[in-house]
Structure 1
Amino acid sequence: MKATALCISVCIFLPTQVFSAALETSNQSIASFLEPNNYLEFSTAIVDANVSGNIYRPEAEDLSTLTEVATPNFVRRYVLFNTSLKLQLHPNWSLGFIYDQPFGTNVDYTFDPIPSSPANLINATQFKLDTKNLSSLLGYQPNPFLNFYAGLSHQTLSTQVKISGQSSGLLIDYHGDIQKNSAHGWLAGMSYQIPEYVLKTSLTYRAKIRHKHPFNEQTTTTPTIPLLNLSSNQNTTIETPQSVNLEFQSGITAHNLIYASLRWVNWQNFKIASPLISSSSNNPVMLVDYQNDQWATTLGMAHVFSDKWTSTIDIGRDSGIDNPASTLSPSNGLYSLGLGSFYQIHSNLFIAGGIKYFRLNKAKVQQDSNGSGSLFKPLSSVNNNHALAYGIKMGYRF
């Protein structure tokens, strides 16, 4: 079972939740920290999504009259990176560092301008959010079976929103951005393993991380209407969500093992409010507001063909967050199928690669074409959308 024990932590975490509920782009696994001895790992994944549907667009002659038109593919390709280092400082103590990009999105689409509108106003939306995480972990192993660990996370966040007024039936452009800023959180967990059976399980909790920084916002019109040309630089608070990860693997025969994971993410408490637009309202106006928490599961099997080659296959499900269909939330959960392969170059160095297909479930269409107050336009219908992720990982043991 030695070859299997070496491969599973590599293959199980090839592209898994790189396209899932809300803004999640990583399952925030700490599996690399549970590797034996000293370990260095690097991985990258490319995500290609095909996401589109129909949207309500204002008529040129009457902006209050909406016509249904097809959208382009409005989710852009993105690349993710992950690296980690684990050091066994003492038989009972270990130190680790994990860098990943846990949350993000890149929504970007443009329609042709409406002829009767000002030349610089087009029907367009752009929303980018980027986070980067560096987690530092300290582990205590009182015996070969148990590992208790805790640590701190340093997280950076930046976001940019641009919405043309035509997207909402108004001749106003909205622009808001939060410059790159940092905040801190914590994580803790425990792991239990029986090496001779290749059994390993871990439970990890990550606390929410609160970012409080200025939100630069501006609304503009052409021609100029002073009462509608506003700007604001007020502080706003964004809390990236708390989460719990349960991960499991076990050998079942000399050449096969199973693995599984369960992840909960508290998206229901994640919100991005607009201080500028909220200033004229009794209630905060939300740019992003998710309705439910996310549950994600993966179940897979690995087969060892030789001392050098191992392959995996897994299936996954994501519950989604139940928001109505919009250009920000066109899908509501997904099903996935992944294939991976591992090659042991020599005793200390390996490479693994994988591909995962995501079938995106359609979000429920909201019948009210005016939406629910969000600046992200509701979709009138959703296509059969999907995504593909390709990943590669290298690891070195020393």
Structure 2
Amino acid sequence: MLLFVPITYIKLQQGMFPMKLTALRSAILLSLIPTTSVIAGGLDRSGQSMSAFFQSGNYAEAGFTVIDPTVEGTSTVVKDEKISDMGGDYYFPSAAIKIQPTDNISLGLLYDQPFGADATYSSTAGTFGNGTEGTSVEVDTHNLTALIGYQPNQNWNFYAGPVYQTVEGKVSLRGAAYGGTRLLGGYDIDLKEDDAFGWIAGAAYSIPEIALRAAITYRSEIKHELDTSETFALGAVVRPNSNTEVVTPQSVNIDLQSGVAKDTLAFANIRWVHWDQFAVKPTYLAAATQAARGKAQNLIDYSDDQWSITTGLSHKFNDKWAGSASVGYDSGAGNPVTTLGPVEGNWSIGLGAQYSPAQSYFIAAGVRYLWLGDADAQTGGNVVGSFEDNSALAYGMKIGYRF
């Protein structure tokens, strides 16, 4: 999902700025392109934008994002082994609709894929491959957020609602990093799809005359119990099905914007995600590692919370065209990291453009380049790879319509 906040018509009082802003299409073409486990902290993917719900009147949008990471490294298990690109390209859509049935009540429905992972190591025999297969991970989530907002006046907006979420995943561990086929080198796990509910609540304060808005949004954690199938030694040892608890983390988004000059907005998005309590601990994986190593091992866990910020400027060039530029930082979720996402945060720059053929609809596009943070990948408490000087390219499009 490209986090564009589309252009809307907002009248600004004369004399509000030195350049006498008389009309500004309140635009944040946030070219903030969300991140995933091989790019940002934890498994964060969409960034969970609220921008569509803040639009005036009735509004709908749909978009997609493509992320193309390059994540390479060096083995610390097999001497002189270079680890080829393990970051899989992926695509994910987003959509939203917001309705204003009265002056004081708004309704919204948001769809996104907030968390996920998609990565595959080379099958070459070595640290993460056995000659025929490579270590791989695929995690998918889907969120449907229903919102009701109350606006007692033109300045305040209070909103809340339920969140429906599904989670599923598959992981295969191969190679010397996991002890070969003697321990986890032939391990497969299938986490069947589970659905559960959480909630969202927030508030926004606006001063329409200067296109100012400050919003804070809280999303609860959501607890899942996934039916799980685990196999060891490339299927030679099959365990009975069990349940695995996965709790997707709580988060807080802070969105800020304000007009700063004629036809120009400054914006910032700050996001916190509570990853340091996150862990996936399958029953038989924990038992096998406890017996072999004297300590139960998690499939995935993180040591720190994630903090990210994106800030920049957007400018309206004329009635049809606007653009934005932004810079971003993501702290990651600790280092060393899991072998299934060997990156510690990122720095990024982004550019966005929006074309409005008519006042009722627009087309927006953006691109973002990310310098991925260096990280050491570990399993079972042992560092098995070093990943440095990696990058990613993200791009996407969105269509918005007012009715």
TM-score by length of 1: 0.88
Matches within 5 A, 1:1-398: 2=9, 6=25, 8-9=27-28, 11-12=29-30, 14-17=32-35, 19-57=39-77, 66-113=78-125, 122=132, 124-172=134-182, 173-220=186-233, 229-280=237-288, 281=290, 284-363=296-375, 365=376, 371-373=378-380, 378-398=383-403
Distance of 1:183 and 1:135 partners within structure 2: 12
Distance of 2:318 and 2:158 partners within structure 1: 33
How far residue 121 of structure 1 moved from its aligned partner, in angstroms, is 6.4
Structure 1 residue matching 2:66: 3-state secondary structure: strand
Counterpart amino acid of residue 131 in structure 1: T
- CA deviation map 1:245-294 (0-9, x unaligned): 00011001122110001100001111111210223527542010100000
Distance of 2:47 and 2:263 partners within structure 1: 27
Contact 2:315–2:324, Cα closer than 8 Å, also in 1: yes
86-95 or 324-333: bigger deviation? 324-333
Counterpart amino acid of residue 239 in structure 1: V
Structure 1 residue matching 2:101: 3-state secondary structure: strand
- CA deviation map 1:35-81 (0-9, x unaligned): 10100011111100010101245xxxxxxxx4230111101100011
How far residue 111 of structure 1 moved from its aligned partner, in angstroms, is 3.3
How far residue 123 of structure 1 moved from its aligned partner, in angstroms, is 6.1
What percent of counterpart residues are identical?
A: 36
Distance of 1:131 and 1:292 partners within structure 2: 22
Distance of 2:379 and 2:364 partners within structure 1: 45
How far residue 153 of structure 1 moved from its aligned partner, in angstroms, is 0.7
How far residue 334 of structure 1 moved from its aligned partner, in angstroms, is 0.7
- Residue aligning to 2:5: none
Distance of 1:361 and 1:43 partners within structure 2: 28
170-179 or 135-144: bigger deviation? 170-179
- Residue aligning to 2:19: none
- CA deviation map 1:298-341 (0-9, x unaligned): 11101111111111000010011123155323221110100001
Structure 1 residue matching 2:180: 3-state secondary structure: coil
CA shift in 2, pair 1:215/1:251, >3 Å: same
Counterpart amino acid of residue 163 in structure 1: L
Structure 2 residue matching 1:33: 3-state secondary structure: helix
Structure 2 unpaired stretches of 5+: 1-7, 11-22
When the two chains are superposed, the root-mean-square deviation of aligned CA atoms in Å is 2.2
Contact 1:124–1:167, Cα closer than 8 Å, also in 2: no
The structure 1 segments of at least 4 consecutive aligned residues displaced by more than 4 Å after TM superposition are 3-7, 119-123
Contact 1:311–1:342, Cα closer than 8 Å, also in 2: yes
Structure 1 unpaired stretches of 5+: 58-65
CA shift in 2, pair 1:256/1:170, >3 Å: same
Counterpart amino acid of residue 399 in structure 2: M
How far residue 381 of structure 1 moved from its aligned partner, in angstroms, is 2.5
- Residue aligning to 1:62: none
